Amino acid sequence: MTFTLPDGLPPGRSEPAGSAGIWVSNELPEDIERLWGLLLEKQEATGLFPLLCWPGSPARSHLAEADAIRLECVLDAGFVAYRRRRLPFWSNPTPEEVPEGVEPWPHDPGPPFESWPGLAPPVAVEADSPSPAQAAGCTVAHLLDTGWHEFKDCRLALVPARRSADLPALLEWSSEAPVPLVSALLRSWEDRFGAQVVSACRNSLRVSVARPPQNLQDAEVLACEHLLSTAQSIVDDPATTFPDYAASLVGRSDWWFWWD
């Protein structure tokens, strides 16, 4: 490895990944919440980002592909195609017939936009805004407290990266996700909302958010960006209408993305 590890780490090992390697714990540390805070405090000095990840995740750098993406152009074209594909479902309030005993999906009117609305506006840093590192620490504590089963087989990794948003591009955690596009979105969300990647376990991605949108209008625009990540956890799984999903983003400090 070409970096120096901080003191106080649990037993672990180095693994070749990307251009500089990563460090991975042998087990998920029992004091992960305390350790996470210490690692975040040292992050600027070490250049290492903590991440919960699946052991043995394959590595293939997508940074160059993410660099080449012109995000607004890609999202504009993606929204046109998505709206064309989904419009028949949004326009028909009559639910499809389902077998007896199966709950029908609620009618989804879709986004309230006929064309791409552009990127959601950034949320300004206020005096009482948590830092991205503070928000990430709180999110990890909450996730481990409420979703232990999802993370019990994950490991703690330390990844040398320029920014948190680049972590998925350095660790190819899911073969189904459009990794370069997701990384480009994450970079933009990091700039506008203080987003930080905290876990990439199996085919799911968890993101902390220091400055989420505070009104429904901005949340509806952001929800369109989430849709175009292609994640199946957005609207389709579990079945959620677009208005309900957008409303859930107001003030929400963690985002979840899942691909099959």
Could you give the CA distance from residue 254 to residue 197 in angstroms, rounded to a whole number? 10
Return the sign of the alpha-carbon dihedral for residues 86, 91, 95, 98.
negative
Establish if 148 belongs to a structural domain: yes
Please list the rounded mean pLDDT of every run of 10 residues in the chain (260 residues).
Answer: 79 72 87 83 88 73 87 96 85 66 74 95 94 89 80 87 89 80 96 95 91 98 96 84 95 93
Of 180, 210, 182, 184, whose CA–CA distance to 195 is shortest? 210
What pLDDT score was predicted for residue 54?
81
Establish if 44 belongs to a structural domain: yes
Counted domains in the chain: 1
Establish if 231 belongs to a structural domain: yes
Over the Cα atoms of the chain, what is R_g?
19
What pLDDT score was predicted for residue 78?
95
Q: CB neighbours (10 Å) of residue 29?
A: 17
Establish if 82 belongs to a structural domain: no
What pLDDT score was predicted for residue 125?
94
pTM of the complete model: 0.89
Question: What's 3's DSSP letter?
Answer: S
What pLDDT score was predicted for residue 73?
96
Establish if 185 belongs to a structural domain: yes
167, 173, 178, 184 alpha-carbon torsion, rounded to 10°: -10
Establish if 95 belongs to a structural domain: no
Q: CB neighbours (10 Å) of residue 172?
A: 17
Domain, as residue range, for 198: 12-67+117-258
Q: Which two tokens stand for residue 64?
A: 């160059």
Could you give the CA distance from residue 48 to residue 1 in angstroms, rounded to a whole number? 12
Of 65, 89, 69, whose CA–CA distance to 77 is shortest? 69
What pLDDT score was predicted for residue 104?
67
3-state secondary structure of 135: helix
Establish if 97 belongs to a structural domain: no
Return the sign of the alpha-carbon dihedral for residues 30, 55, 138, 35.
positive
What pLDDT score was predicted for residue 212?
98
Establish if 73 belongs to a structural domain: no
